[in-house]
Amino acid sequence: MPVHEVLIPLFDGVQPLDVAGPHEVLAGAGQLLEHRGRGSGYRVTLAAERPGPVRGLSGLQLVADVPLPESGPIGTLLVPGGETATGMSGADPFVDWLRRAAGRAERVVSVCTGSFALAAAGLLDGLCATTHWHYALDLARAHPSVDVRPDAIYLRQGRIWTSAGVTAGIDLALALVEADHGAEVAQHVARHLVVFLRRPGGQSQFAGPVWTPPARRPGVREAQDLIHGDPTADLRVSVLASRVGMSERHFSREFTRALGCPPGDYVEQVRVDTARRLLETEPVLVTVAAARAGFGSAETMRRAFLRRLGVAPDHYRRRFAVH
């Protein structure tokens, strides 16, 4: 099998793990394939505006082998992230080069905030894409033509692949290996790196609770205070509407307009966040956490966790408990 060329373009402020993670996956797959007599697998090349050291986001330097190529075919064009990438626009020289290079690539891949560069180049228009959970809203606001999916670890849209933040580049690279050489090869590499071939759940489980500012509308703000003050209370929409002196229909409309989600969704999110804190910090049973967070039963809480975090409460506790 002929070698598959992978080009990783670097820029000042690049996130080094976005480069090193996929590099090690692809290098490991190449070594395994060569050992089995199935060809060289992958050849990874680092490029930059000028060959030589490129300073990463944390101060760690990566060394570009070659200048950004202006001609020739590219197997996989893998664009890493970094805070620099979030500010890239269509007029940026790197984005201009990326737009031209993408036409010569069999597939185009972004890791973390590398998706901002792809979006600035117009490569994500009309597509579903993901990025680091912390920057998902920024990507959606800056590029409304992109359907941003903030919970995905990685997404494939034809020849375009995008991934979540930082270490999710490893997940993405394993998916590339699986697509190219099958699950057995990818699983072998994953075991060697001591990672999951397919990480359980989405990236929402890693995101901290999002603070929602108080609404300006007095009635909606009063309802927020009631919800946060006692998640175990009866927080049905009809009850909340009555407590703040509004009709149920008017209350639902005003609440959704002010906070961007219906009251029932808001209550569930507050209860999930409450349960997360309990599971992380206290050695309580799942049934106890469910009761103290305001869920009617452990099963109700389990469904809410699966819906919002992609994992069950007991799995969440095993991963994130600090006690």
> Which residues are part of the catalytic machinery?
112
Rounded to whole angstroms, the Cα distance separating 23 from 44 reads: 7
Residue 197 DSSP SS3: coil
Question: Does the CA dihedral 292-297-299-305 come out positive or negative?
Answer: negative
Q: Which of 6, 33, 4 is nearest to 189 (CA)?
A: 33
Classify the phi-psi angles of 110: left when phi > 0, otherwise alpha if psi is within -120 to 50, otherwise beta.
beta
171 φ, ψ (degrees, to nearest 5): -55, -45
Residue 241 DSSP SS3: helix
Rounded to whole angstroms, the Cα distance separating 229 from 290 reads: 17
DSSP string, 107-123: EEEE-TTHHHHHHHTTT
Q: Which of 65, 67, 60 is nearest to 12 (CA)?
A: 60
Classify the phi-psi angles of 23: left when phi > 0, otherwise alpha if psi is within -120 to 50, otherwise beta.
alpha
Rounded to whole angstroms, the Cα distance separating 63 from 85 reads: 19
For residue 163, count CB atoms less than 10 angstroms from its CB and return exposed for 0-12, middle for 13-18, buried for 19 or more: buried
Of the CA atoms within 13 Å of residue 51, those in its CB half-sphere come to: 5
Of the CA atoms within 13 Å of residue 316, those in its CB half-sphere come to: 32
